[in-house]
Amino acid sequence: MKLFKRNGKLVKELQGQLSSVEEKNQALLNDLQKEREERAASERALQEAKNNSRSIQDKMNQRNALHLEELEQRGQAGQNTLDEKDQQVQELKGNLLSVQGEKDTLLGALGDMIKSLILSHAQEVSTLNKKMRGLQHC
């Protein structure tokens, strides 16, 4: 009879531990889902930034093309000297290089941010997996 009471207590204790482990597993699953959602949001932000960068580059290219066309018309009409044209073309080239440099910097920073988020996510997943394995041994 004592054995049955003892077994009953052990069963209740194990059920309590199992319930606790299940709650912890659910919390870990919720954390993992949150990490996945954050990663998806980061990927969307990166794509949006890339699209914005392309848009900025396109606008600058259009602006530069219009400016170059204007310079050509002025030159044909005799309004600009050769030196002025050269200076303006150099300024446009400088502007273009500056925009390209800014674009590369932004893309590099975004790439670094995504790499960091991916590494962080991988570490979190690894940690969560270790915790889950540890809880499974309980």
pTM: 0.39
Express each pLDDT in 36-77 by its tens digit.
999 999 899 889 988 888 888 889 889 989 988 987 886 676
% of the chain surpassing 70 pLDDT: 92
* 83 has a pLDDT exceeding 80: no
Give the pLDDT band of residue 33 (cuts 50, 70, 90).
very high
Give the chain as a DSSP string.
Answer: -HHHHHHHHHHHHHHHHHHHHHHHHHHHHHHHHHHHHHHHHHHHHHHHHHHHHHHHHHHHHHHHHHHHHHHHHHHHTT-S-HHHHHHHHHHHHHHHHHHHHHHHHHHHHHHHHHHHHHHHHHHHHHHHHHHHHHHHH-
